[in-house]
Structure 1
Amino acid sequence: MRSMNTSLTTTSERLEANKAKLRVEVPEASLKPALDAAYRRWSNEIRVPGFRKGKVPRQLIDQRVGPEAIREEALRDALPDLYVSALESEELEAIAPPEIEVVSFESGVPIVFEATVDLRPEVVLPEYSGITVEAPSSELRDEDLKDQLDRLRDRFAELETIGRAARKGDFVVIDLKGYRGEELVEGVSAPDLLHEIGSGQGPPKLDDEVEGSKPGDIMKFTDTVGEGTGEPAGSGATSDGPQETMEVSFTVLVKEVKAKKLPELDDEFAANVGEFETLDELKDDLRQRLGEYQRQVAEQQVRNLVLERFVEAAELKAPERLVDDEVKHRMEHVEQDLASAGMTLEQYAEQTGSTELEVRSEVREQAAQSVKAELLLEEVVRRADIKVDDEDLGREIAYLSAQTNTEPGELTKELASSGRLRGLVADIMRRKALDYVVEQVNVVGLEPQTETIDDSAEDDESHEQQQEQGEN
């Protein structure tokens, strides 16, 4: 295919279904704006006696820098816009940065460059009517209410000293001392430490050592801990990588054993929990809040299931270039998270009973599904003519500003200056596209939303889940 506009001539050749090679011929005169800008920059940067800043003649710049170096700099600056113009001339839509090769760049003749371009694949949306999703139950069970009441009782429990031996879930007041040789190690020692048995806090062997103990008991043991922390080896990391470990000899003196005393479930407990006159009022409030929360969870699960079925139903192969980029992005996050936990990818794979190759393969599969989902939702945006208006963007920025404790105006400026505002708009579009898909497919068993008390925490959690889904 051959196209021409006022400044360039283009031809394109399909290499594969979703890849093309562009050949672009540009008149040398089209480089003049970029060439002028390059000379202006150098005129402001170099110092020549007798000439003010910005007034250095081109001849002197050529002597200092070299005319070919200036031309090459101008071409580097001009290529992005020339490439975009060539795409528009050929009516091609790229999905990744191109591989550009300059074929001809001699003075006095047209500039010629070639660009190998990954193209957006043709996306055919599956039939909405052929997708059926069964919504999980959002019914509140008696066990759910009981569990919530038990958690409230545990939160308001008091500790009382007991005479029996310590059990898992009890608390002990101990003097913990760690030694290396004769020297007391700071950071792993603490007097009058209140420790919950089974919490996994402190030296790894501590829970086993104090379980079954009584006041006055003294235990001695050697353990491996993170250097300077007293936490289990591998529970943290330094800026340079996995945390260093050390062997420490511990002495533990048990001073008291305490157990939780749970409050009775009565009207007095309800009054302590909140502004409730009776236990029945507390239960009614919990039922309403838990019911609304479970309905939101069910709706989010439906969204996840719909997106999964939508991707499965589409006959679409994720472009390798996009998958490679997504894998790189995800693996960077995985390795950063593991480093924060003091682990390497190899250690994580061993701990989970897999191999590094299996971990990377799983990440690649997830990345491919994510790329397919993104392409499908972007096509839904086009077909359904979905827009993001000022209200949508304002609501999103208000949410993010509340999460980051930043003024909405400042956050908007920061997003715009960093180039992230466009990405935020794209995320909102994809979420609205998924809303549209959920409305079109067959969802069985989803209870309609009912009016409930306002609960901003629940609204924020639902919004956060949808944000993560839009990113994934």
Structure 2
Amino acid sequence: MKSAVETLNPTRVRLTVEVPFEELKDSLDAAYKKINQQVTVPGFRKGKIPARVIDQRFGRGAVLEEAVNDALPKLYQSAVEEGELNPLGQPEVDITDLKDNELLAFTAEVDIRPEIEIPDYSGIEVEVDAVEVSDEEVDKAVEQLRERFASTSVVERAAAEGDVVKVDLEAKVDGEVLEDGVAQGVDYTIGSGELLDGIDDAVTGLEAGGTATFTSELKGGSAAGSEAEVSVKVESVSARELPELDDDFAQMASEFDTIGELREDSRKRLGQQKKYEQATEAQEKVLDALLALCDVPVPDKLLEEEVSTRKHNLINHQLGQMGLDLATYLQMQDKTEEDFDAELKEQAEKGIRTQFVLDELVSTEKLNVSQEELTEHLMRRAQSSGMSPDQFAQAVVEGGQVPMLVGEVARGKALAHVVEAVTVTDTNGETVDLDDEDETAETVDAESGSEDAPAEASEGSSEEAAEASGESSEKPAKSED
């Protein structure tokens, strides 16, 4: 077999392959055997039909077609290996010549990973927010804890801000009651903003048994985005009573004996959270700076597929779970579809460039992923997906996604490698040490013990930073594998 590679552009090549006919012998034999099992010829037992009879009855062309279809994938792969290419996606194959007993020739156009030169990045300098916790932030954290221990008692008076009202709701659009527009016995804290716009004004001043009507734009459900006429009836009014901020409260709400110790612990937690946020900010800014230094061409077809995948996932999964369609979502975001498509394309392109650059760093820096690192990453991904580690691991193995997870961890290590080599300072001019960023994140997660802990803390380490900044949907890595 002879093959040649023609570079069409930095991300696409054309392979030209010529195959002597004798190299198709195995595929021809397999073609005759397959046809033998599929057809019946009077006078011959099934599977025992001579090749010449198959040629006469069904045509030599049918045999050649079957043989070529069997041989092409193997011939293409051999040409790829000979050309030392890293293809992305499936090739576009065109058979240019097929002469029986002489020659098979074909071309295959395919996108490839571009060759990327990683420049010296040690001169990168980024600035991040300093880790500072104010007294006001501590006050807010303690007040949120205090709110969680508030008690309520029914009162015989008009509802006011801060009260908890139990209400019945009915929403109409164009005079018709929505199937999912009726709710009874809903507890709502006036002023919290957790229900419909306009409900605060409607229920304030009402006593138990009082009713009101207001208009509001529905945020979810079957009529999301529509203006609805909402009827509300107050079943009861309850006043909220907050505990005193004293040592008794500290002992009730925590493991500490004094309110001073509780406040100090809150300050420590806030500092750990800000340290994690600082590390994430540093990773994102370093990645942006690194990408700005690199010339990374993106294959057009790969970009189209990535944009399509992201759009599909948003519409059919994220928005679908919220009961929204794209038009309603765009209306809520005050965006046109053109704006949305442009942003999606920008994110997808950055994701692909990120993956290419970090994969190149993994290769040049010879970074390996240990079983322990892979297991830790799998545990974090399982936690964020809402699955048990065993369920997530089984789904990953059955879906053939282990190489994808290995790639995620390796790219995270590559980014961490760059962050360690550059200069990161905070807004106070102090050099930031990010060596313990993983430990900091895990500490935030392990010690938080409350709903106020950042969701990102569950991710825990730098291998997610590239994904958070817009990394692609792993198509390049999967295609290469």
Q: Residue 264 and residue 426 in structure 1: after superposition, are their counterparts in 2 closer, same or farther (change >3 A)?
A: same
Which residue of the other structure, out of 235, 240, 243, is the alignment partner of 2:220? 235
Q: Distance in 1 between matches of 2:54 and 2:249?
A: 83
Deviation at residue 203 of structure 1 after TM alignment: 6.5
Deviates more, 1:395-404 or 1:323-332: 395-404
Deviation at residue 108 of structure 1 after TM alignment: 1.6
Q: Distance in 1 between matches of 2:170 and 2:6?
A: 74
Question: CA deviation digits over 1:402-451, x for unaligned, max 9?
Answer: 5554454x755543342211111111111110011101111123246498
Q: Match for 1:365: what amino acid?
A: E
Structure 1 counterpart of 2:305: 325
Structure 1 counterpart of 2:401: 420
SS at match of 2:459: helix
1:395 lines up with 2:376 in the alignment = yes
Structure 2 counterpart of 1:461: 457
Deviation at residue 260 of structure 1 after TM alignment: 2.0
Q: Distance in 1 between matches of 2:18 and 2:174?
A: 77
Deviation at residue 31 of structure 1 after TM alignment: 3.1
Instruction: Compute the TM-score of the two structures, normalised by the length of structure 1.
Output: 0.81
**Percent identity (aligned):** 33
Q: Match for 1:160: what amino acid?
A: S
Structure 2 counterpart of 1:295: 275
Structure 2 counterpart of 1:5: none
Structure 2 counterpart of 1:432: 413
Tell me the C-alpha RMSD between the 2 structures. Answer: 3.8
Q: Match for 2:360: what amino acid?
A: E
Q: Distance in 1 between matches of 2:41 and 2:251?
A: 82
Which residue of the other structure, out of 403, 423, 446, is the alignment partner of 2:432? 446
SS at match of 1:124: coil
1:381 lines up with 2:354 in the alignment = no
Deviates more, 1:353-362 or 1:175-184: 175-184
SS at match of 1:315: coil
1:256 lines up with 2:236 in the alignment = yes
- Contact 1:293–1:458, Cα closer than 8 Å, also in 2: no
Deviates more, 1:16-25 or 1:378-387: 16-25
Structure 2 counterpart of 1:116: 109
Q: Distance in 2 between matches of 1:345 and 1:159?
A: 41
Q: Distance in 1 between matches of 2:258 and 2:327?
A: 56
1:286 lines up with 2:266 in the alignment = yes
Q: Distance in 1 between matches of 2:27 and 2:208?
A: 82
Which residue of the other structure, out of 145, 148, 154, is the alignment partner of 2:141? 148
SS at match of 1:105: strand
Q: Distance in 2 between matches of 1:40 and 1:90?
A: 33
SS at match of 1:98: strand
Which residue of the other structure, out of 12, 15, 27, is the alignment partner of 1:22? 15
Gaps of 5+ in 1: 1-7, 225-231
Q: Residue 265 and residue 56 in structure 1: after superposition, are their counterparts in 2 closer, same or farther (change >3 A)?
A: farther
Which residue of the other structure, out of 202, 206, 213, is the alignment partner of 1:209? 202
Q: Residue 33 and residue 382 in structure 1: after superposition, are their counterparts in 2 closer, same or farther (change >3 A)?
A: same
Q: Residue 320 and residue 193 in structure 1: after superposition, are their counterparts in 2 closer, same or farther (change >3 A)?
A: closer
Q: Match for 1:123: what amino acid?
A: I
Q: Residue 29 and residue 234 in structure 1: after superposition, are their counterparts in 2 closer, same or farther (change >3 A)?
A: farther
- Contact 1:166–1:212, Cα closer than 8 Å, also in 2: yes
SS at match of 1:128: coil
Q: Residue 204 and residue 350 in structure 1: after superposition, are their counterparts in 2 closer, same or farther (change >3 A)?
A: closer
Q: Distance in 2 between matches of 1:446 and 1:174?
A: 51
Structure 1 counterpart of 2:211: 218
1:92 lines up with 2:73 in the alignment = no
SS at match of 1:212: coil
- Contact 2:383–2:458, Cα closer than 8 Å, also in 1: no
- In the comparison of the two structures, how many residue pairs are matched? 450
1:470 lines up with 2:466 in the alignment = yes
Q: Match for 1:470: what amino acid?
A: A
SS at match of 1:29: helix
SS at match of 1:129: coil
Q: Match for 2:282: what amino acid?
A: V
Deviates more, 1:135-144 or 1:74-83: 74-83
Deviation at residue 115 of structure 1 after TM alignment: 1.1
Matches of residues 4-23 of structure 1 in structure 2 within 5 Å?
Answer: 8-23=1-16
1:353 lines up with 2:338 in the alignment = no
Structure 2 counterpart of 1:131: 124
Deviation at residue 51 of structure 1 after TM alignment: 9.4
